[in-house]
Amino acid sequence: MSQSNQSLRRTLDRLFVPLTVGPTILWIAGIIVYPTLQLFWSSLFWTNPITGAKEFVGIENFVDLLFGDAGGWLGVLNPTFVNFTWNTIVYVGFSVTISFLLGLGIALLLNKDLAGRGWLRTAVIVPWILPYVMSGLMWRWMFQAQYGAINGVLVQSGLIDSKIAFLSDGTLAMMALIVADVWVFTPFIIIILLAGLQNVPEQLYDAAEVDGASRWSRFRNVTYPFLKPSILVALTIRIIFDIRALDLVWVMTQGGPGKATEVWASWLYRTAMVFQRSGEGAALGVVLLAVTFAIVAVLYKVFGETPYST
Amino acid sequence: MSTRTSYLDRIADGFGLDTDNEWPSVVRERLVAYGLLGVYVFVVWFPIYYILITSIQPTSEVLSLPINFIPQQPTIGNYVDIFANRPFELYTFNSLVVASTTTLICVTLGTVTGYTFSRHDFLGNKALLLSIVGARMIPPIALIVPFFSIMSSPPIIGGLTGSLYDTKIALILTYTFFNLPFAVWIMKNYFDGVPESLDEQAQVDGCSQWEGFVKIILPVAKPGIAATAILAFIFSWNEFVFALVLTSSEQAQTLPIAVSLFVADDFVDWAHLAAGGMIAALPGILFGLFFQRYIVSGLTQGAVKE
């Protein structure tokens, strides 16, 4: 009895690695690798939106996506593609830049030895943990033309005379999206950069102070080198998350008014799910996948770091 | 001595203080820091306050002008209404089931796999870990087409009838897609920080690998497990896009979908939406207030650590 127990124990021990890693690998293969392969496969078909019938078309979906209705940029690219790509660049570019600078500032402030720092940190983290849908709807309510708080504050304090229909104007709607996005994701930047700031050795600041280094020079020469990996991570995750995130855009503007705030994520959802054109939606998905990996590669190249994480 | 005068010096002058002696630069810097942080905290919390007061006002008051930033007749009517008129108890139940099952799967698999990746060299371990990390970067929305088609078609494994579309199982399976690689990665980083002498001690004491893992390592890993669990729960609780694509009725729809359903084409029922939104936001607010430390450590383990 005890002998067979012994041998069972030894067998189980020998199988430790396969038994602990195997299930996860199989699970990931089933839930990620298989759907990803199917994405590439689906992108080669044209789907009839009414009957659902599929027809093999090779790379035609990609050609249409990039060059269809030629006459756009340089007379070559698909104007729809150029237009929505531009919207995405504006949305992601402004959101990430503003939230990064704001997050860096707040992280530097929170890194100071202040009383109540723990509470302040808790207070600034909350927006990131709320469901994005609820945050999106909350901001839609804030920007609402008649009863929204922003118009309320502006009018009731006498700053403007007549209310502004923020979400009915293309440019203002894009600005509203960016405000909501910055509100939601700045905490993430703060958390990552605060962790990075803890790597900066205190003595280096003292030394810099003795040398009479200016505030900027201290940041540039002491803080920045230690913070660089965290900056890289924060930017990478922020950018790839913003390109693919649908929640805020969908509930705040649905890509409107017109197509003023249509970004890649909402375009993909509209193509695949609303218009039921799954082949074209899959092609868009493949492009999104490629762009994501390209951005990560470029960021690591620019920062001259070996992949630290992600 | 500086000849420049800042606005703080001017304020100090206003109080008749001798700035050179009575406003040491440390105090001055702190006041500026508190001021700026105060403004930021106000901006962060104002929208949450606004949706909270919207949720406790009757519709007539919500749609009255000028806007009252302090509710005149607070009421819990909206909360009562949404449970009475819509299946909010089902939405809440679905959210709880989906988020906790996903969390359980991801934490269990993530913990054991993370441990092995941290401690064992085996054939292809680097390549496997890299694939898992790479899987984290695949944009979920890019996969809505395959997920929709997989969940809508009859299952490959026999014995089940019908498709997984509009079931909680579909959501649970899908949510492990972004949470499992994340859990493996956090736990691997966490175990990297646990001294290997603990493992050796367990072996000296005659524990098998499994016993050592369960009795010695797991108890030490509790904070890492807590961080992973909290983040996996929040991510699953908040998820919207796949719930939108893969569900169509209250047997599987979760709270984020329920909240979005308050938006009709031309009309939004703001008072009730705010109440639903507060219910969906509750776990986030509570976790944020009470488990901030775990959220921060989990996120930084998952992002920054090598």
Residue B17 sits at the chain A interface (C-beta within 8 Å):
no
Q: What value does the mean pLDDT take over residues A268-277?
A: 92
In a domain, A233, yes or no: yes
Model pLDDT, residue B161: 63
CB < 8 Å to B151, chain A: none
In a domain, A239, yes or no: yes
At A135-151, the pLDDT tens digits run 999 999 999 988 888 88
Phi and psi torsions of B175, nearest 5° = -70, -25
Alpha carbon B196 to its chain's center = 31
Distance, in angstroms, between B29 CA and closest chain A CA?
10
In a domain, A292, yes or no: yes
Exposure b/e, A156-180, CB count within 10 A at least 16 = b: eeeeeeebbbbbeebebbbbbbbbb
**Beta-strand runs (E) in chain A:** 45-47, 54-56
CB–CB contact A112 B29 (8 Å):
yes
Mean pLDDT of chain A: 87
Distance, in angstroms, between B16 CA and closest chain A CA?
26
Cα torsion A278, B265, B274, B72 to 10°: value is 170
Is the confidence at residue A205, as pLDDT, over 80? no
CB < 8 Å to A155, chain B: 66
Residue from B138, B176, B178, B233 to probe the interface with A (highest A Cβ count within 10 Å): B138
CB < 8 Å to B208, chain A: 9, 12-13
Q: Is B188 helix (H, G, I), strand (E, B) or coil?
A: helix
Which is more confident, B20 or A206?
A206
CB–CB contact A122 B139 (8 Å):
no
In a domain, A8, yes or no: no
Label residue B78 exposed, middle or buried (CB < 10 Å: 0-12, 13-18, 19+).
buried
Is the confidence at residue A309, as pLDDT, over 80? no
Distance, in angstroms, between B17 CA and closest chain A CA?
24
Which chain B residue lies closest to A286 (C-alpha atoms)? B142
Alpha carbon A148 to its chain's center = 27
Helices A132-142 and B270-290: angle between axes, nearest 10 degrees: 130
In a domain, A271, yes or no: yes
Can you read off the two tokens belonging to residue A255? 């890509």
Write out the residue range of the structural domain in which residue A111 sits: 80-303
Question: In the structure, what pLDDT confidence band is assigned to residue B304 with cuts at 50, 70 and 90?
Answer: low
At A60-93, the pLDDT tens digits run 889 888 887 665 556 678 888 889 999 999 999 9
Q: Is A56 helix (H, G, I), strand (E, B) or coil?
A: strand
CA pair distance B114, B228, nearest whole angstrom: 11
Q: Is B2 helix (H, G, I), strand (E, B) or coil?
A: coil
CATH number reported for the structural domain that contains residue A239 in this entry:
1.10.3720.10
Model pLDDT, residue B269: 87
Distance, in angstroms, between B25 CA and closest chain A CA?
13
User: Is the peptide bond preceding residue B66 cis, with omega within 30 degrees of 0?
Assistant: yes
Model pLDDT, residue B2: 47
Closest partner residue to B44 (CB to CB) among A35, A123, A308 is: A123
CB–CB contact A141 B240 (8 Å):
no
pTM: 0.90
Q: Is A201 helix (H, G, I), strand (E, B) or coil?
A: coil
At B174-210, the pLDDT tens digits run 999 889 999 999 999 999 999 988 888 888 888 888 8
In a domain, A214, yes or no: yes
Query: Is there a contact between B246 and B147 (Cβ–Cβ < 8 Å)?
Result: yes
**Residue A302 CB: number of other CB atoms within 10 A?**
10
Closest partner residue to B281 (CB to CB) among A25, A130, A244 is: A130
In a domain, A24, yes or no: no
User: Per the structure, how many domains does chain A have?
Assistant: 1
CA pair distance B187, A40, nearest whole angstrom: 31
Which is more confident, B11 or A183?
A183
Question: In the structure, what pLDDT confidence band is assigned to residue B50 with cuts at 50, 70 and 90?
Answer: very high
Closest partner residue to A130 (CB to CB) among B41, B63, B284 is: B284
CA pair distance A181, A136, nearest whole angstrom: 9
Closest partner residue to B241 (CB to CB) among A139, A192, A247 is: A247
In a domain, A100, yes or no: yes
ipTM: 0.89
